[in-house]
Chain A
Amino acid sequence: MNDDQLRALLRLKRYEQPPEGYYDRLLIQIRQNQRTELLRKSLWNIALDRFRTFFSSHNTPALRYAGATAGFALAGFLGLRMLPQDPPTATNPGGAEIAEAAPPAIAPSSPFPVPQAIQTTMPVQSHAPLHMHAQGQLQTQPQHTLLGDPWPPLEHLETLRSMQRTQAIRTSTSPSQSLPQRPQIQRSTRYIIDARPVSYEPSFSF
Protein backbone atom coordinates (compact mmCIF):
# COMPACT_ATOMS: atom_id res chain seq x y z
CA MET A 1 0.00 0.00 0.00
CA ASN A 2 1.47 3.30 -1.00
CA ASP A 3 1.17 6.65 0.74
CA ASP A 4 -1.73 7.94 -1.37
CA GLN A 5 -3.81 4.85 -0.73
CA LEU A 6 -3.14 5.11 2.97
CA ARG A 7 -4.19 8.77 3.03
CA ALA A 8 -7.34 8.00 1.10
CA LEU A 9 -8.20 5.28 3.55
CA LEU A 10 -7.55 7.57 6.50
CA ARG A 11 -9.68 10.28 4.94
CA LEU A 12 -12.63 7.93 5.00
CA LYS A 13 -12.53 8.00 8.77
CA ARG A 14 -13.80 11.58 8.80
CA TYR A 15 -17.23 10.16 8.01
CA GLU A 16 -17.31 8.35 11.28
CA GLN A 17 -19.80 10.43 13.20
CA PRO A 18 -22.08 9.66 16.14
CA PRO A 19 -25.78 8.84 15.72
CA GLU A 20 -28.24 11.59 14.89
CA GLY A 21 -29.29 13.74 17.83
CA TYR A 22 -26.09 13.00 19.70
CA TYR A 23 -24.92 16.62 19.82
CA ASP A 24 -28.25 17.83 21.22
CA ARG A 25 -27.97 15.29 24.01
CA LEU A 26 -24.36 16.27 24.56
CA LEU A 27 -25.36 19.91 25.00
CA ILE A 28 -28.01 18.97 27.57
CA GLN A 29 -25.48 16.82 29.45
CA ILE A 30 -22.95 19.64 29.46
CA ARG A 31 -25.51 22.08 30.89
CA GLN A 32 -26.50 19.59 33.57
CA ASN A 33 -22.87 19.02 34.50
CA GLN A 34 -22.27 22.74 34.78
CA ARG A 35 -25.22 23.19 37.10
CA THR A 36 -24.27 20.17 39.20
CA GLU A 37 -20.72 21.37 39.45
CA LEU A 38 -21.79 24.82 40.58
CA LEU A 39 -24.16 23.44 43.19
CA ARG A 40 -21.66 20.94 44.49
CA LYS A 41 -18.71 23.28 44.73
CA SER A 42 -18.12 25.56 47.63
CA LEU A 43 -17.21 29.18 47.10
CA TRP A 44 -13.65 28.45 48.18
CA ASN A 45 -13.31 25.68 45.58
CA ILE A 46 -14.66 27.91 42.83
CA ALA A 47 -12.14 30.61 43.75
CA LEU A 48 -9.33 28.06 43.85
CA ASP A 49 -10.39 26.66 40.51
CA ARG A 50 -10.40 30.10 38.93
CA PHE A 51 -7.00 30.81 40.45
CA ARG A 52 -5.58 27.63 38.92
CA THR A 53 -7.19 28.34 35.59
CA PHE A 54 -5.75 31.85 35.56
CA PHE A 55 -2.23 30.55 36.10
CA SER A 56 -2.62 27.64 33.72
CA SER A 57 -3.49 30.11 30.96
CA HIS A 58 -0.17 31.89 31.57
CA ASN A 59 1.92 28.92 30.66
CA THR A 60 5.35 30.52 30.55
CA PRO A 61 8.19 28.31 31.80
CA ALA A 62 10.55 31.29 32.23
CA LEU A 63 8.09 32.98 34.57
CA ARG A 64 7.73 29.73 36.50
CA TYR A 65 11.48 29.37 36.94
CA ALA A 66 11.84 32.99 37.95
CA GLY A 67 9.06 32.59 40.49
CA ALA A 68 10.60 29.43 41.89
CA THR A 69 14.01 31.11 42.18
CA ALA A 70 12.50 34.12 43.90
CA GLY A 71 10.64 31.82 46.25
CA PHE A 72 13.79 29.94 47.17
CA ALA A 73 15.70 33.17 47.69
CA LEU A 74 12.96 34.55 49.92
CA ALA A 75 12.75 31.30 51.89
CA GLY A 76 16.53 31.31 52.33
CA PHE A 77 16.56 34.92 53.46
CA LEU A 78 13.77 34.33 55.95
CA GLY A 79 15.48 31.16 57.15
CA LEU A 80 18.71 33.05 57.83
CA ARG A 81 16.81 35.76 59.63
CA MET A 82 15.03 33.24 61.80
CA LEU A 83 18.23 31.42 62.81
CA PRO A 84 19.18 32.06 66.44
CA GLN A 85 22.45 33.99 66.64
CA ASP A 86 23.62 32.53 69.98
CA PRO A 87 21.49 30.79 72.50
CA PRO A 88 21.23 33.00 75.57
CA THR A 89 22.35 31.36 78.80
CA ALA A 90 21.63 32.14 82.38
CA THR A 91 24.90 33.97 82.86
CA ASN A 92 24.75 35.61 79.47
CA PRO A 93 21.29 36.71 78.60
CA GLY A 94 22.60 38.93 75.86
CA GLY A 95 24.01 36.09 73.82
CA ALA A 96 26.73 37.07 71.42
CA GLU A 97 26.57 40.75 72.20
CA ILE A 98 29.31 40.47 74.78
CA ALA A 99 31.58 38.64 72.43
CA GLU A 100 30.98 41.22 69.76
CA ALA A 101 31.52 44.08 72.16
CA ALA A 102 34.77 42.68 73.45
CA PRO A 103 37.78 43.97 71.58
CA PRO A 104 39.22 41.18 69.54
CA ALA A 105 42.72 40.32 70.50
CA ILE A 106 43.58 38.96 67.08
CA ALA A 107 41.57 41.29 64.99
CA PRO A 108 41.51 41.19 61.20
CA SER A 109 43.20 44.58 61.29
CA SER A 110 46.03 43.16 63.32
CA PRO A 111 49.42 43.43 61.64
CA PHE A 112 50.02 39.79 62.43
CA PRO A 113 48.82 37.45 59.78
CA VAL A 114 46.29 35.06 61.17
CA PRO A 115 45.84 31.80 59.34
CA GLN A 116 42.49 31.57 57.63
CA ALA A 117 41.88 28.09 58.94
CA ILE A 118 42.16 29.32 62.49
CA GLN A 119 39.85 32.24 61.89
CA THR A 120 37.16 30.05 60.50
CA THR A 121 37.46 27.10 62.84
CA MET A 122 37.87 28.96 66.11
CA PRO A 123 34.70 29.26 68.08
CA VAL A 124 33.32 32.60 69.16
CA GLN A 125 34.62 32.13 72.67
CA SER A 126 38.21 31.92 71.49
CA HIS A 127 38.05 35.52 70.28
CA ALA A 128 38.40 36.69 73.85
CA PRO A 129 41.24 39.13 74.26
CA LEU A 130 44.64 37.65 74.73
CA HIS A 131 47.11 39.33 77.02
CA MET A 132 50.73 38.56 77.09
CA HIS A 133 52.51 38.82 80.29
CA ALA A 134 56.04 39.83 80.56
CA GLN A 135 57.07 36.27 80.97
CA GLY A 136 55.60 35.49 77.59
CA GLN A 137 52.84 33.21 78.77
CA LEU A 138 49.46 33.15 77.26
CA GLN A 139 46.54 34.37 79.30
CA THR A 140 43.05 34.65 78.07
CA GLN A 141 40.58 37.04 79.50
CA PRO A 142 37.88 35.34 81.47
CA GLN A 143 35.23 37.10 79.37
CA HIS A 144 34.54 33.95 77.44
CA THR A 145 33.51 32.27 80.63
CA LEU A 146 30.38 34.33 80.34
CA LEU A 147 29.51 32.41 77.20
CA GLY A 148 29.23 29.13 79.01
CA ASP A 149 32.46 27.38 77.99
CA PRO A 150 35.25 28.51 80.31
CA TRP A 151 38.12 27.47 78.09
CA PRO A 152 38.64 27.04 74.42
CA PRO A 153 39.14 23.51 73.18
CA LEU A 154 42.60 22.02 73.53
CA GLU A 155 43.36 21.94 69.84
CA HIS A 156 42.66 25.67 69.62
CA LEU A 157 44.78 26.26 72.70
CA GLU A 158 47.77 24.70 71.01
CA THR A 159 47.22 26.87 67.99
CA LEU A 160 46.90 29.94 70.14
CA ARG A 161 50.13 29.13 71.92
CA SER A 162 52.05 28.82 68.69
CA MET A 163 50.56 32.10 67.57
CA GLN A 164 51.49 33.72 70.83
CA ARG A 165 55.08 32.66 70.42
CA THR A 166 55.23 34.22 67.00
CA GLN A 167 53.57 37.31 68.34
CA ALA A 168 56.02 37.61 71.20
CA ILE A 169 58.93 37.58 68.82
CA ARG A 170 57.40 40.27 66.67
CA THR A 171 56.42 42.49 69.55
CA SER A 172 60.07 42.63 70.64
CA THR A 173 60.99 44.37 67.38
CA SER A 174 57.81 46.18 66.42
CA PRO A 175 55.25 46.58 69.12
CA SER A 176 51.75 46.18 67.94
CA GLN A 177 49.48 49.12 68.28
CA SER A 178 46.39 47.02 68.28
CA LEU A 179 47.39 45.18 71.38
CA PRO A 180 45.98 46.58 74.58
CA GLN A 181 48.27 48.73 76.67
CA ARG A 182 49.98 46.85 79.38
CA PRO A 183 51.93 48.28 82.34
CA GLN A 184 55.45 49.18 81.34
CA ILE A 185 58.19 47.73 83.48
CA GLN A 186 61.11 50.09 83.87
CA ARG A 187 64.18 48.22 83.03
CA SER A 188 67.52 49.36 81.92
CA THR A 189 68.48 48.21 78.52
CA ARG A 190 71.14 45.64 78.62
CA TYR A 191 73.36 44.39 75.92
CA ILE A 192 75.52 41.37 76.03
CA ILE A 193 78.93 41.46 74.44
CA ASP A 194 81.25 38.53 74.74
CA ALA A 195 79.04 36.89 77.34
CA ARG A 196 79.44 39.90 79.64
CA PRO A 197 76.59 42.31 80.25
CA VAL A 198 77.25 45.84 79.17
CA SER A 199 75.09 48.79 80.00
CA TYR A 200 74.62 52.30 78.68
CA GLU A 201 74.22 53.45 82.17
CA PRO A 202 77.09 55.57 83.20
CA SER A 203 79.50 53.89 85.39
CA PHE A 204 80.09 55.60 88.62
CA SER A 205 83.37 54.01 89.06
CA PHE A 206 86.01 55.85 87.23
Chain B
Amino acid sequence: MPPSLTQALPTILLPTLPEAQSPCATGALAGRKSATMQEQDSRREDDQLIARSQNGDPAAFDQLVVKYSPRLYGLVYNMTSNHEDTNDLLQDIWAKAFRSINGFRGRSSFPTWMHAIAVNMSINFLKKRGRRSHLSLDDIDANVEHDKEFMELTAGSTPVRETNLKELQKRLNEAMQKLSHEHRAVVTMFDIQGMPHAEIASILGISEGTVRSRLFYAHRQLQASLGEFHQN
Protein backbone atom coordinates (compact mmCIF):
# COMPACT_ATOMS: atom_id res chain seq x y z
CA MET B 1 0.00 0.00 0.00
CA PRO B 2 1.70 3.22 -1.07
CA PRO B 3 1.71 6.12 1.36
CA SER B 4 -0.82 8.85 0.87
CA LEU B 5 0.27 11.25 -1.83
CA THR B 6 -1.15 14.26 -0.10
CA GLN B 7 0.99 13.45 2.92
CA ALA B 8 4.06 12.97 0.77
CA LEU B 9 3.65 16.08 -1.32
CA PRO B 10 4.46 18.75 1.27
CA THR B 11 7.73 17.08 2.19
CA ILE B 12 8.70 16.66 -1.47
CA LEU B 13 7.47 19.79 -3.13
CA LEU B 14 7.11 22.62 -0.71
CA PRO B 15 10.80 23.11 0.11
CA THR B 16 11.36 24.09 -3.53
CA LEU B 17 8.90 26.97 -3.44
CA PRO B 18 10.54 30.40 -3.48
CA GLU B 19 8.22 31.49 -0.67
CA ALA B 20 9.23 28.47 1.36
CA GLN B 21 12.88 29.37 1.15
CA SER B 22 12.04 32.42 3.27
CA PRO B 23 14.83 34.83 2.36
CA CYS B 24 15.34 37.83 4.56
CA ALA B 25 13.45 41.01 3.71
CA THR B 26 16.46 43.03 2.54
CA GLY B 27 17.63 40.18 0.40
CA ALA B 28 14.21 39.94 -1.20
CA LEU B 29 14.16 43.68 -1.90
CA ALA B 30 17.60 43.53 -3.47
CA GLY B 31 16.51 40.56 -5.50
CA ARG B 32 13.49 42.46 -6.82
CA LYS B 33 15.64 45.45 -7.74
CA SER B 34 18.09 43.32 -9.61
CA ALA B 35 15.21 41.54 -11.36
CA THR B 36 13.80 44.90 -12.46
CA MET B 37 17.20 45.99 -13.74
CA GLN B 38 17.58 42.72 -15.59
CA GLU B 39 14.17 43.24 -17.19
CA GLN B 40 15.16 46.73 -18.29
CA ASP B 41 18.42 45.48 -19.76
CA SER B 42 16.59 42.67 -21.49
CA ARG B 43 14.04 45.08 -22.92
CA ARG B 44 16.78 47.41 -24.17
CA GLU B 45 18.53 44.51 -25.82
CA ASP B 46 15.23 43.39 -27.38
CA ASP B 47 14.63 46.87 -28.77
CA GLN B 48 18.03 46.86 -30.45
CA LEU B 49 17.51 43.38 -31.87
CA ILE B 50 14.05 44.28 -33.15
CA ALA B 51 15.32 47.47 -34.77
CA ARG B 52 18.07 45.51 -36.50
CA SER B 53 15.59 42.84 -37.59
CA GLN B 54 13.27 45.49 -39.01
CA ASN B 55 16.23 46.85 -40.95
CA GLY B 56 16.75 43.42 -42.49
CA ASP B 57 19.43 41.87 -40.27
CA PRO B 58 18.68 38.12 -40.08
CA ALA B 59 21.31 37.53 -37.40
CA ALA B 60 19.40 39.80 -35.02
CA PHE B 61 16.24 37.84 -35.60
CA ASP B 62 18.16 34.61 -34.93
CA GLN B 63 19.20 36.00 -31.58
CA LEU B 64 15.57 36.68 -30.73
CA VAL B 65 14.72 33.11 -31.70
CA VAL B 66 17.44 31.70 -29.48
CA LYS B 67 16.48 33.95 -26.58
CA TYR B 68 12.73 33.34 -26.53
CA SER B 69 12.31 29.82 -27.88
CA PRO B 70 12.64 28.09 -24.48
CA ARG B 71 9.81 30.18 -22.98
CA LEU B 72 7.64 29.70 -26.03
CA TYR B 73 8.39 26.01 -26.04
CA GLY B 74 7.15 25.74 -22.45
CA LEU B 75 3.96 27.56 -23.32
CA VAL B 76 3.16 25.65 -26.51
CA TYR B 77 4.21 22.31 -25.13
CA ASN B 78 1.98 22.60 -22.09
CA MET B 79 -0.85 23.66 -24.36
CA THR B 80 -0.49 20.79 -26.84
CA SER B 81 1.20 18.12 -24.66
CA ASN B 82 2.93 16.81 -27.73
CA HIS B 83 6.53 17.34 -28.77
CA GLU B 84 6.05 17.02 -32.52
CA ASP B 85 3.10 19.37 -32.54
CA THR B 86 5.06 21.82 -30.45
CA ASN B 87 7.96 21.69 -32.86
CA ASP B 88 5.73 22.36 -35.86
CA LEU B 89 3.86 25.11 -34.09
CA LEU B 90 7.05 26.82 -32.96
CA GLN B 91 8.28 26.98 -36.53
CA ASP B 92 4.98 28.46 -37.64
CA ILE B 93 5.00 30.95 -34.77
CA TRP B 94 8.49 32.20 -35.62
CA ALA B 95 7.62 32.33 -39.30
CA LYS B 96 4.65 34.54 -38.49
CA ALA B 97 6.78 36.68 -36.20
CA PHE B 98 9.34 37.07 -38.98
CA ARG B 99 6.66 38.23 -41.39
CA SER B 100 5.13 40.59 -38.84
CA ILE B 101 8.26 42.01 -37.28
CA ASN B 102 7.98 45.18 -39.37
CA GLY B 103 4.52 45.76 -37.91
CA PHE B 104 5.78 45.56 -34.32
CA ARG B 105 5.45 49.08 -32.90
CA GLY B 106 6.55 48.41 -29.33
CA ARG B 107 3.19 49.12 -27.72
CA SER B 108 3.78 45.97 -25.67
CA SER B 109 7.01 44.19 -24.85
CA PHE B 110 8.41 41.74 -27.36
CA PRO B 111 7.82 38.65 -25.16
CA THR B 112 4.21 39.74 -24.61
CA TRP B 113 3.77 40.13 -28.35
CA MET B 114 5.35 36.74 -29.03
CA HIS B 115 3.26 35.05 -26.35
CA ALA B 116 0.10 36.54 -27.87
CA ILE B 117 1.02 35.07 -31.25
CA ALA B 118 1.90 31.72 -29.67
CA VAL B 119 -1.29 31.47 -27.62
CA ASN B 120 -3.53 32.40 -30.55
CA MET B 121 -1.84 29.97 -32.91
CA SER B 122 -1.85 27.19 -30.32
CA ILE B 123 -5.55 27.64 -29.59
CA ASN B 124 -6.34 27.68 -33.33
CA PHE B 125 -4.27 24.54 -33.78
CA LEU B 126 -5.99 22.78 -30.89
CA LYS B 127 -9.42 23.69 -32.23
CA LYS B 128 -8.48 22.22 -35.60
CA ARG B 129 -6.99 19.15 -34.00
CA GLY B 130 -10.17 18.60 -32.03
CA ARG B 131 -10.23 16.04 -29.31
CA ARG B 132 -7.33 13.98 -30.64
CA SER B 133 -4.81 13.78 -27.87
CA HIS B 134 -1.20 12.81 -28.46
CA LEU B 135 0.50 12.80 -25.14
CA SER B 136 4.24 12.52 -25.55
CA LEU B 137 5.12 13.84 -22.16
CA ASP B 138 7.18 10.84 -21.08
CA ASP B 139 10.04 11.79 -23.43
CA ILE B 140 10.28 15.17 -21.82
CA ASP B 141 9.75 14.02 -18.28
CA ALA B 142 12.91 11.99 -18.53
CA ASN B 143 14.82 15.25 -18.75
CA VAL B 144 13.29 16.50 -15.55
CA GLU B 145 15.08 13.78 -13.66
CA HIS B 146 18.43 15.14 -14.86
CA ASP B 147 17.57 18.66 -13.86
CA LYS B 148 19.76 20.01 -11.08
CA GLU B 149 16.93 21.47 -9.03
CA PHE B 150 14.84 18.38 -9.48
CA MET B 151 17.70 16.18 -8.30
CA GLU B 152 18.10 18.37 -5.23
CA LEU B 153 14.38 18.24 -4.69
CA THR B 154 14.16 14.47 -4.74
CA ALA B 155 17.49 13.79 -3.06
CA GLY B 156 15.98 12.67 0.21
CA SER B 157 13.00 10.92 -1.25
CA THR B 158 12.43 7.24 -1.39
CA PRO B 159 11.84 5.32 -4.66
CA VAL B 160 8.22 4.90 -3.68
CA ARG B 161 7.77 8.66 -3.38
CA GLU B 162 9.46 9.26 -6.74
CA THR B 163 7.17 6.74 -8.39
CA ASN B 164 4.17 8.36 -6.87
CA LEU B 165 5.37 11.78 -7.92
CA LYS B 166 5.78 10.62 -11.51
CA GLU B 167 2.36 9.04 -11.42
CA LEU B 168 0.94 12.24 -10.02
CA GLN B 169 2.59 14.25 -12.79
CA LYS B 170 1.13 11.94 -15.38
CA ARG B 171 -2.30 12.40 -13.84
CA LEU B 172 -1.77 16.13 -13.79
CA ASN B 173 -0.97 16.16 -17.50
CA GLU B 174 -4.14 14.24 -18.22
CA ALA B 175 -6.11 16.61 -16.03
CA MET B 176 -4.59 19.56 -17.90
CA GLN B 177 -5.84 18.08 -21.15
CA LYS B 178 -9.37 18.10 -19.79
CA LEU B 179 -9.27 21.88 -19.30
CA SER B 180 -10.56 24.16 -22.02
CA HIS B 181 -7.91 25.79 -24.24
CA GLU B 182 -8.40 29.18 -22.63
CA HIS B 183 -8.17 27.83 -19.08
CA ARG B 184 -5.12 25.77 -19.96
CA ALA B 185 -3.41 28.82 -21.40
CA VAL B 186 -3.99 30.77 -18.20
CA VAL B 187 -2.76 27.93 -15.98
CA THR B 188 0.30 27.45 -18.16
CA MET B 189 1.29 31.10 -18.09
CA PHE B 190 0.55 31.73 -14.42
CA ASP B 191 1.36 28.52 -12.59
CA ILE B 192 4.01 27.01 -14.84
CA GLN B 193 5.72 30.03 -16.35
CA GLY B 194 5.18 32.34 -13.39
CA MET B 195 3.84 35.30 -15.34
CA PRO B 196 1.88 38.03 -13.51
CA HIS B 197 -1.85 38.47 -13.96
CA ALA B 198 -1.44 41.79 -15.76
CA GLU B 199 0.84 40.35 -18.43
CA ILE B 200 -1.47 37.37 -18.99
CA ALA B 201 -4.40 39.76 -19.34
CA SER B 202 -2.41 41.79 -21.87
CA ILE B 203 -1.48 38.68 -23.86
CA LEU B 204 -5.00 37.29 -23.97
CA GLY B 205 -6.72 40.65 -24.37
CA ILE B 206 -8.93 40.13 -21.33
CA SER B 207 -9.25 41.79 -17.94
CA GLU B 208 -7.25 40.76 -14.89
CA GLY B 209 -10.51 39.76 -13.22
CA THR B 210 -11.19 37.30 -16.01
CA VAL B 211 -7.69 35.89 -15.61
CA ARG B 212 -8.25 35.36 -11.88
CA SER B 213 -11.66 33.83 -12.52
CA ARG B 214 -10.27 31.40 -15.09
CA LEU B 215 -7.47 30.46 -12.73
CA PHE B 216 -9.92 29.80 -9.92
CA TYR B 217 -12.12 27.49 -11.98
CA ALA B 218 -9.13 25.75 -13.57
CA HIS B 219 -7.65 25.02 -10.15
CA ARG B 220 -10.96 23.67 -8.91
CA GLN B 221 -11.18 21.40 -11.94
CA LEU B 222 -7.61 20.17 -11.56
CA GLN B 223 -8.11 19.51 -7.89
CA ALA B 224 -11.25 17.55 -8.63
CA SER B 225 -9.42 15.41 -11.23
CA LEU B 226 -6.45 14.76 -8.96
CA GLY B 227 -8.75 14.15 -6.01
CA GLU B 228 -10.31 11.28 -7.94
CA PHE B 229 -6.81 9.86 -8.46
CA HIS B 230 -6.08 10.16 -4.74
CA GLN B 231 -9.32 8.39 -3.84
CA ASN B 232 -8.58 5.60 -6.32
Contacts and interface: CB of A to CB of B under 8 A. Distances in A.
A59 to B, nearest CB: 9
B194 A14 contact: yes
A17 B73 contact: yes
Nearest to A7: B191
Given A14-B193, A16-B137, A30-B94, A3 B219 contact: yes
Interface in B73-108: 73-74, 77-78, 83, 87, 90-91, 94-95, 98-100, 102-105
B91 A11 contact: no
Chain B contact residues: over half helix, strand or loop, or mixed?
Answer: helix
Contact of B17 (A8, A14, A23): A8
Interface size class, chain A = 20 to 34
Contacts of B9: 1, 5, 8-9
Given A11-B192, A15-B144, A27-B66, A49 B99 contact: yes
A82 B144 CA distance: 71
Contacts of B10: 5
Interface in B115-141: 137, 139-141
A184 B219 CA distance: 100
Interface residues of B, number: 54
Given A16-B144, A57-B103, A6 B222 contact: yes
Interface of A: 1-19, 23, 26-27, 29-31, 33-34, 37, 49-50, 53-54, 56-57
30 contacts: A5-B6, A5-B10, A5-B13, A6-B222, A6-B223, A7-B191, A8-B17, A9-B172, A10-B187, A11-B17, A11-B191, A11-B194, A12-B13, A13-B169, A14-B192, A14-B193, A14-B194, A16-B78, A16-B144, A17-B73, A17-B140, A26-B90, A27-B66, A27-B69, A30-B98, A31-B58, A50-B99, A54-B103, A57-B103, A57-B104
Interface of B: 5-6, 9-10, 13-14, 16-17, 58, 62, 65-66, 69-70, 73-74, 77-78, 83, 87, 90-91, 94-95, 98-100, 102-105, 137, 139-141, 143-144, 147, 149-150, 168-169, 172, 187, 191-194, 219, 222-223, 226-227, 230
